[in-house]
Amino acid sequence: MGHPCVWVERGRAMVAVRSVRRRPEGQAVRGWRSCGAEQRPIEWGMGLDGPTMPVTSSTTTPSALPAATPPPEVIHNCPACSHWLPEGTLACPECHTLTYSQHLGRIATDAQQLEQQQRWPEARDRWRTALDWLPAYAAQAEALRNHIAQIDSRLQAAEDQKARWTKKLGPFAPVALFLLKVKSALLLLFKLKFLFSLLAFFGIYWALYGWRFALGFIGGIFVHEMGHFFAVKRRGLHAEWPVFTIWGAYVRWYNEGVSREDLAAIALAGPLFGLTTSLAYLAVWMLFHWPVFVVLAYFTAFLNIFNLLPLLGFDGAQAAYALGRMQRGLVAATCIVFFALTVQGGDLMGQSTHWIFLIVGLGMAWRTFGNDAAEKPSTGTFVYFQALVVLLGLVILYTYPPLLRITQ
């Protein structure tokens, strides 16, 4: 005959006969803890931000509230050792694994998502539901109660602060609260520097060329810069929102440790997005014959060819680091060919001559003789760069004649 032990149940206890040891008070029970993407019965602890949780691939948008975790099905066999368990058993008496560890993990996932969204009351209520599935003597239960108490303290401190400011501001408190919410929304959606610089840039070009051109021109620049932004983010690096100046815009990002190929891909993503915008403007002009769109298509393509200049920190300068000497020479030759195509009747100073192609070509030719050529040239970057030169060049050649007719 073995020694009696107690199975802790929800709301009551069951006495059974089994040859096992009693768990000391406050000792952790196995079975609920973060373990990468894998869950296995190891001891669960408290992290600095509360109970650790299983890592999953699911995401929740900031505005979505996780649905209430449905109750699990009754488990009669221990998930770890398959020992038979009476209904309502919360921890296996044989191996001390939490019976409903997977359900607790789901609760923890939902609760931490709510905490990340700053929904502290809902997070607290979700954590409380986990206590119903934990043995009262377990260390996890005590840690969870402490975490809930911390959330209560946070909520109380926020209420006390709100009460103090309401008392100080008196009748102006509702107005101050409204302005605070508006400011928070703006900071969430935009960086203020980005917003103010965008409006200032739009105002300048509106005054010079009218609101239609200003809006389309800014749109082309914005899409170009967002190409850089998304390329940086796609590689897990930090990037800031674009900042506009009177000469254009830029994205500040941090490039520690990136390869030459990644640097080139980030640099060329801007002209690629700009090419897409130029083609979209061209398509609108071809469909509806609105003059402003052929103007926008031309200037957007021109601006992106200019950015392929392989000097002075332009996009082409960053991309050229991944090119070998021969690849740089071929890009330079392509640019010079396009320059020759714009010269009509041998008149270098003619109205149709586009010196920008010659400038980019000579810049790349100069880089051909530099000492910073890639030891292992990137064929992908070379094809990428060449394709942008050709496609942007074709857009310029196609849109310039109708542009000339419109402006004369």
Domain residue spans of the chain? 4-162, 192-407
Summary mean pLDDT of the chain: 77
16: phi then psi, degrees, rounded to nearest 5: -140, 165
| Look-up of token digits 């309401």 | 166
Cβ–Cβ under 8 Å, residues 134 and 23 = no
Question: For 322-344, what is each residue's pLDDT tens digit?
Answer: 999 999 999 999 999 999 999 98
Q: Report the first-to-last Cα separation within the chain, whole angstroms.
A: 107
SS3 for 304?
helix
Cβ–Cβ under 8 Å, residues 283 and 335 = no
What pLDDT score does 185 carry? Answer: 52
What pLDDT score does 333 carry? Answer: 97
What pLDDT score does 34 carry? Answer: 33
pTM value is 0.54
Bridging pattern class, strands 4-8 and 243-245 = unpaired
The span from the CA of 322 to the CA of 318, in Å, is: 8
Cβ–Cβ under 8 Å, residues 341 and 287 = no
Tokens of 352: 């149709």
The span from the CA of 249 to the CA of 251, in Å, is: 7
pLDDT of 125 above 60: yes
- The residue with greater pLDDT, 94 or 294, is 294
pLDDT of 345 above 60: yes
The span from the CA of 327 to the CA of 361, in Å, is: 12
| Look-up of token digits 């709301």 | 11
Over 124-193, what HEC string results? HHHHHHHHCCCCCCCHHHHHHHHHHHHHHHHHHHHHHHHHHHHHHHHHHHHHHHHHHHHHHHHHHHCCHH
Residue 312 DSSP one-character state = T
Q: How many residues does the chain have?
A: 408
Tokens of 301: 């393509």
The span from the CA of 365 to the CA of 388, in Å, is: 17
The strand pairing partners of 50, in sequence order, are: 47
Closest Cα partner for 378 from 331, 313, 312, 311?
331
Tokens of 103: 């359900």
Q: Report the Cα 162 to chain-centroid distance in Å.
A: 33
DSSP assignments along 47-105, one per residue: ETTEE-----S----TTPPPPPPPPPPP--B-TTT--B--TT--B-TTT-BBTTHHHHH
Least confident of 6-20, 122-136, 362-376: 6-20
Question: For 184-217, what is each residue's pLDDT tens digit?
Answer: 454 445 555 667 777 887 888 888 888 899 899 9
Tokens of 131: 């206590």
> Quick one: pLDDT band at residue 100, thresholds 50, 70, 90?
confident
The span from the CA of 70 to the CA of 73, in Å, is: 9
What pLDDT score does 71 carry? Answer: 81
Q: Report the Cα 158 to chain-centroid distance in Å.
A: 30
| Look-up of token digits 């975490």 | 147
Tokens of 290: 């609105």
Question: For 23-64, what is each residue's pLDDT tens digit?
Answer: 444 444 444 443 333 333 323 333 323 333 333 333 444 445
